[in-house]
A and B are shown apart, each in its own frame.
Chain A
Amino acid sequence: MRKLLLAVMLTGLTSTAAAQTKIEVLARTCNTCHGTGGVSAGTSMPSIGGLPREYLKRVMKQWKYDERSSITMGRIVKGFSDDEIDALAAYFASREWTPTPQKAAADALAAGEEAVRRVCTDCHGMKGGDPDIDAPPLDGQWGKYMAIEVEKYLSPEFKMPHRRMGKAVTEVKATEAEAAVRYFGAQGR
Chain B
Amino acid sequence: MGLNARAFLAAMMLAALLPAGAAVAAADHGTDGGAPVAIPAPPLLENERCLRCHADQDEKFVVRPDGSLHNTFIDTARLDHSVHAKVPCVGCHTDVTKLPHAKPLARSIGCVDCHEKQFEAASKAAGAKLERLDVVLRQTEDYLHSVHAKPSAMDHSRVNAACHDCHDAHDIGKPGTTQRAEHRLKNPEVCGACHEKQKKDYLASAHGKALVEKKDTKTAVCSDCHSLHAIGPTKTDPVRMTITQNCGSCHKEAEKTYLASYHGQVHRLGFAHTAKCFDCHGGHGIQGEDDPTSLIHANNRLKTCETCHKDAGPGFATFQAHGDPDNFEKYPGLAVAKIFMQALIIGVMAFFWGHVLLWLYRELMDRRKGIGHFENLDQPETIYFRRYSATWRWIHTLFAVATMVLAMTGTTLLFAHTDWAKAVVSFIGGPRVEAIIHRTAAITWVAIFLVHLVLAGGNIWRHRKSFRWFGSTSLLPTWKDLRDVRDMFRWFFGLGPRPEFDRWTYWQKFDYWAPFWGATVIGLSGVVLFKPEMTAHLLPGWVFNIATLVHAEEALLATVFLNTVHFFNVHFRPSRFPMSTTIFTGAIPLEEFKHDHRIEYERLKASGELDRYLVKRISRRADMLSSFLASVLIVAGLTLLTLVLVGRATMH
Contact = CB atoms under 8 A, between A and B. Distances in A.
Interface of A: 121-125, 130-133, 135, 163-164
A58 B529 CA distance: 79
Nearest to A119: B52
A164 B59 contact: yes
A175 to B, nearest CB: 21
A55 B103 CA distance: 15
B649 interface: no
Contact of A163 (B49, B52, B59): B59
B53 A122 contact: yes
Contacts of B58: 163
Given A130-B98, A163-B58, A164-B59, A122 B49 contact: yes
Contacts of B56: 164
Contact of A130 (B49, B100, B103): B100
Contacts of B59: 163-164
A122 B103 contact: no
A134 to B, nearest CB: 9
Nearest to B98: A130
Contacts of A164: 53, 56, 59
12 contacts: A122-B52, A122-B53, A124-B100, A125-B98, A130-B98, A132-B100, A133-B103, A135-B100, A163-B58, A164-B53, A164-B56, A164-B59
Contacts of A121: 99
A61 to B, nearest CB: 15
A107 to B, nearest CB: 13
B103 A132 contact: yes
By CB atoms of chain B within 10 A, which of A124, A133, A135, A163 has the most?
A133
B404 to A, nearest CB: 79
Interface in B308-322: none
Given A125-B98, A130-B98, 6 more contacts: A121-B99, A122-B53, A131-B100, A133-B103, A164-B53, A164-B59
A9 B232 CA distance: 61
By CB atoms of chain A within 10 A, which of B49, B53, B56, B99 has the most?
B99
A121 B50 CA distance: 12
A135 B103 CA distance: 13
A85 to B, nearest CB: 19
Nearest to A122: B99
Interface string B47-61: 001001100101100
A125 B99 CA distance: 6
A56 B98 CA distance: 25
Nearest to A123: B100
Nearest to B103: A133
Interface in B76-111: 98-100, 103
Contacts of B49: 122
Contacts of B99: 121-123
A114 to B, nearest CB: 11
A130 B103 CA distance: 13
Contacts of B100: 122-125, 130-133, 135
Closest CB pairs A-B (n = 10): A132-B100, A122-B99, A133-B103, A123-B100, A122-B49, A122-B100, A122-B52, A121-B99, A125-B100, A131-B100
A135 B99 CA distance: 12
Interface string B25-61: 0000000000000000000000001001100101100
A125 B102 CA distance: 12
Contacts of A130: 98, 100
Interface in B220-267: none
Contacts of B53: 122, 164
Contacts of A122: 49, 52-53, 99-100
A124 B100 CA distance: 7
Contacts of B52: 122
Nearest to B102: A133
Nearest to B49: A122
A132 B52 CA distance: 14
B290 to A, nearest CB: 56
By CB atoms of chain A within 10 A, which of B52, B59, B103 has the most?
B52
A183 to B, nearest CB: 15
A132 B98 CA distance: 11
A130 B101 CA distance: 10
B287 to A, nearest CB: 50
Nearest to B50: A122
Contacts of B103: 132-133
Interface string B395-434: 0000000000000000000000000000000000000000
Nearest to A168: B52
Interface in B99-156: 99-100, 103
Contacts of A131: 100
Interface string B566-603: 00000000000000000000000000000000000000
Contacts of A163: 58-59
B59 to A, nearest CB: 7
Nearest to A113: B5
A52 to B, nearest CB: 12
A135 to B, nearest CB: 7
A35 B530 CA distance: 97
A76 B53 CA distance: 34
Contacts of A135: 100
A102 B59 CA distance: 35
A124 B56 CA distance: 18
Nearest to A132: B100
B75 to A, nearest CB: 19
Nearest to B52: A122
Nearest to A126: B98
A136 to B, nearest CB: 12
B50 to A, nearest CB: 9
Interface in B590-637: none
By CB atoms of chain A within 10 A, which of B53, B98, B100 has the most?
B100
Nearest to A121: B99
B237 to A, nearest CB: 50
A131 B49 CA distance: 15
B46 to A, nearest CB: 11
A87 to B, nearest CB: 21
Nearest to B104: A133
A25 to B, nearest CB: 32
Nearest to B63: A134
B471 to A, nearest CB: 110
A74 to B, nearest CB: 25
A124 B53 CA distance: 14
A34 to B, nearest CB: 25
Nearest to B58: A163
A125 B100 CA distance: 6
A165 B52 CA distance: 12
A125 B98 CA distance: 8
A123 B49 CA distance: 11
B44 to A, nearest CB: 14
Contacts of A123: 99-100
Nearest to B100: A132
A80 B215 CA distance: 58
B276 to A, nearest CB: 52
B138 to A, nearest CB: 39
A132 B105 CA distance: 13
Contacts of A124: 100
